[in-house]
């Protein structure tokens, strides 16, 4: 069945003009990865080719610069290019270098494949050239100071001050894409919105604000119900204590809770400390905007119940600052993963989640799971980890091991998810905020008929 589905994909590629039969000396191995919809994803291991390829240094745009160009727009639309890289032709003399073998056949790419190290910069150059004449035309004929379109890889945002102007801009953008031979994914496109999510920010009529999903992993953290949860939350906060003024004083109620001579009771002071630290973790100076000119750091952690990933960069002070937190519970189908599988799955999910930041940039992957250091050197593609390794080969990263005791930020974020069962002896008595109102309190008053006495009364 897998063979049949893979050959069907090959026929689709041939019919689309993306590949052709190969007869040259080059050949790279293929890994077949099942997709959720039942089809097969053909992943080619180009790691050895990428090692000897001269890198294209054409820069990806700075996200800050793109967003700053928006100005005072009121209407927004965004498009996603369908099969983006496959719109780019490969030079005829270079096509044999992309060859891959599958079952009884060998093919080479006519269009740019996934996994080639120079694909991001090549595609960005093509997009910039596609809109170069359009931008010049609109600036000359319409007298526009700012562009009405920004492009980051295959993500396109159109912005305008007026409704009719926006309709005109969309027509121009779609016309430019059509003339260049690009097609958009309509199901991923959005039109005429007053606010829109783009490159990790919410773009609105009033300006920019961080996407709330960036800090959801922290803001949605439940109140600890066990000592383990209280301890891990405090560990997460402690990783950034240098940015939190008066950290020791703020955290004292939680610190005291962990002492052996203290009752396991969550009181008003604990609640205040918990809320204050959550707010601090989700705001400046801990949370910063991404700077593509600096190296990204991806920190991941796996637990049987949950996974987490933190995207960070070093600031001018030399310390790690958070760009975004991400966490989720482990899906049922991954509930029986071994530690290596779970840690690798977390890396895959983390890289996919932060794709707009990481793709096309060399980044550092930090893990407390030492066996993961061999991930980029795997040559056995038969297992799940081997297939994941091939899927990640289109990203440029190196792996650093960090001891568990120094991995408190990602580890703490993972453990914020409540376990199914609280360990015996670690239960924390919950606290409820008293209902304080200024309304008068009323009691029941019994009115007796005249001349009657209430039972037990004195007359």
Report d(CA 347, CA 356) in Å as an integer: 15
Model confidence at 144, in pLDDT bands (50, 70, 90)? very low
DSSP string, 324-344: EEEEEEPPGGGTT--HHHHHH
Q: Is residue 342 part of a domain?
A: yes
Report d(CA 64, CA 152) in Å as an integer: 11
Same domain, 173 and 288: no
Single out the residue in 182, 210, 238 at which a domain terminates: 210
Same domain, 160 and 145: yes
Same domain, 223 and 246: yes
- β-bridge partners, 207: 204
If you average pLDDT over every residue of the chain, what do you get? Answer: 82
Please state the domain count of the chain: 2
Residue 319: phi and psi, rounded to 5, are -100, 155
Is a pLDDT exceeding 80 seen at residue 345?
yes
Chain segment 20-58, per-residue pLDDT in tens: 999 889 999 888 877 777 778 888 989 899 989 999 988
Name which of 37, 429, 120 is nearest 264 in CA terms: 429
Q: What CATH number does the domain containing 14 carry?
A: 3.30.70.270
Model confidence at 76, in pLDDT bands (50, 70, 90)? very high
Chain segment 201-230, per-residue pLDDT in tens: 788 887 777 677 767 777 777 888 888 888
Contact criterion met (CB below 8 Å) for 361 and 60: yes
Model confidence at 158, in pLDDT bands (50, 70, 90)? very high
Same domain, 38 and 110: yes
Q: Is residue 426 part of a domain?
A: yes
Same domain, 296 and 251: yes
Per-residue b or e along 313-338, where b marks 16 or more CB atoms closer than 10 Å to that residue's CB: beeeeeebbbbbbbbbebeeebeebe
Q: What CATH number does the domain containing 247 carry?
A: 3.30.420.10
Same domain, 337 and 417: yes
Q: Is residue 443 part of a domain?
A: no
Radius of gyration over every alpha carbon of the chain, rounded to an integer in angstroms: 28
Q: What is the pTM of this model?
A: 0.65
| Residue 164: predicted pLDDT | 93
Q: Is residue 386 part of a domain?
A: yes
| Residue 452: predicted pLDDT | 55
Same domain, 87 and 137: yes
| Residue 434: predicted pLDDT | 56
Which two structure tokens, joined as six digits, stand for 278?
A: 């959550």
Single out the residue in 156, 181, 210 at which a domain terminates: 210
Same domain, 133 and 206: yes
**220 to each of 172, 274, 418, how far by Cα in Å?**
42, 12, 12
Q: Is the dihedral of CA 400, 401, 405, 410 positive or negative?
A: positive
Q: Is residue 459 part of a domain?
A: no
| Strand residue runs (E) in 251-353 | 296-302, 306-314, 320-329
Q: Is residue 180 part of a domain?
A: yes
Same domain, 194 and 96: yes
Is a pLDDT exceeding 80 seen at residue 86?
yes
Strand duo 149-152 + 155-160: pairing: antiparallel
Model confidence at 281, in pLDDT bands (50, 70, 90)? confident
Q: Is residue 458 part of a domain?
A: no
The least confident of 322-326, 406-410, 434-438 is 434-438
Same domain, 203 and 278: no
Which two structure tokens, joined as six digits, stand for 426?
A: 């670690």
Strand duo 363-367 + 397-401: pairing: parallel
Average pLDDT of span 226-237: 84
The least confident of 7-11, 144-148, 163-167, 410-414 is 144-148
| Residue 94: predicted pLDDT | 94
Same domain, 195 and 251: no
Average pLDDT of span 76-104: 92
Residue 59 structural domain: 2-210
Model confidence at 261, in pLDDT bands (50, 70, 90)? confident
Work out the percent of the chain whose per-residue pLDDT is above 90.
29
Q: Is residue 437 part of a domain?
A: no
Same domain, 270 and 398: yes
Single out the residue in 171, 189, 210 at which a domain terminates: 210
| Residue 52: predicted pLDDT | 92
């Amino acid at each position: 069945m897998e063979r049949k589905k893979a050959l069907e994909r090959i026929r689709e590629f041939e019919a689309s003009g993306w590949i052709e039969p190969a007869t040259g000396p080059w050949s790279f191995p293929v890994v077949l990865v099942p997709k959720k919809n039942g089809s097969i994803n053909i992943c080619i291991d180009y790691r050895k080719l990428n090692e000897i390829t001269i890198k294209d240094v054409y820069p990806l745009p700075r996200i800050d610069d793109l967003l700053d160009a928006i100005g005072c727009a009121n209407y927004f639309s965004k498009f996603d290019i369908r099969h983006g890289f496959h719109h780019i032709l490969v030079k005829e003399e270079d096509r044999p270098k992309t060859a891959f073998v599958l079952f009884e056949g060998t093919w080479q790419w006519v269009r740019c494949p996934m996994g080639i190290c120079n694909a991001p910069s090549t595609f960005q150059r093509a997009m910039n050239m596609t809109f170069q004449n359009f931008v010049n035309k609109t600036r000359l004929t319409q007298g526009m100071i700012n562009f009405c379109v920004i492009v980051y890889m295959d993500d396109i945002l159109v912005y305008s001050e007026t409704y009719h102007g926006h309709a005109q801009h969309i027509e121009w953008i779609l016309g430019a894409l059509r003339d260049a031979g690009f097609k958009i994914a309509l199901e991923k496109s959005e039109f005429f919105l007053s606010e829109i999510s783009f490159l990790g920010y919410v773009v609105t009529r009033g300006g920019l604000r961080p996407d709330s999903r960036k800090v959801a992993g922290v803001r949605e953290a439940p109140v600890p119900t066990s000592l383990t949860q209280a301890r891990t939350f405090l560990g997460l906060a402690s990783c950034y204590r240098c940015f939190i003024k008066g950290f020791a004083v703020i955290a004292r109620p939680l610190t005291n809770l962990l002492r052996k001579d203290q009752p396991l009771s969550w009181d008003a002071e604990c609640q205040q400390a918990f809320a204050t630290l959550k707010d601090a973790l989700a705001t400046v100076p801990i949370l910063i905007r991404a700077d593509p000119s600096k190296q990204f750091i991806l920190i991941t952690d796996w637990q049987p119940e949950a996974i987490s990933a933190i995207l960070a960069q070093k600031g001018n002070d030399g310390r790690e600052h958070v760009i975004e937190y991400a966490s989720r519970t482990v899906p049922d189908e991954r509930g029986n993963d071994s530690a290596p599988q779970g840690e690798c799955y977390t890396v895959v999910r983390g890289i996919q989640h932060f794709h707009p930041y990481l793709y096309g940039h060399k980044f550092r992957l930090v893990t407390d799971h030492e066996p993961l250091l061999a991930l980029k050197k795997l040559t056995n593609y038969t297992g799940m980890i081997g297939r994941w390794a091939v899927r990640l080969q289109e990203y440029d990263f190196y792996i650093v091991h960090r001891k568990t005791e120094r991995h408190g930020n990602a580890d703490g974020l993972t453990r914020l998810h409540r376990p199914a069962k609280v360990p015996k002896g670690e239960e924390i008595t919950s606290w409820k905020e008293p209902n304080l109102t200024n309304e008068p309190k009323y009691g029941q008053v019994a009115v007796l008929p005249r001349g009657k006495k209430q039972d037990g009364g004195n007359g």
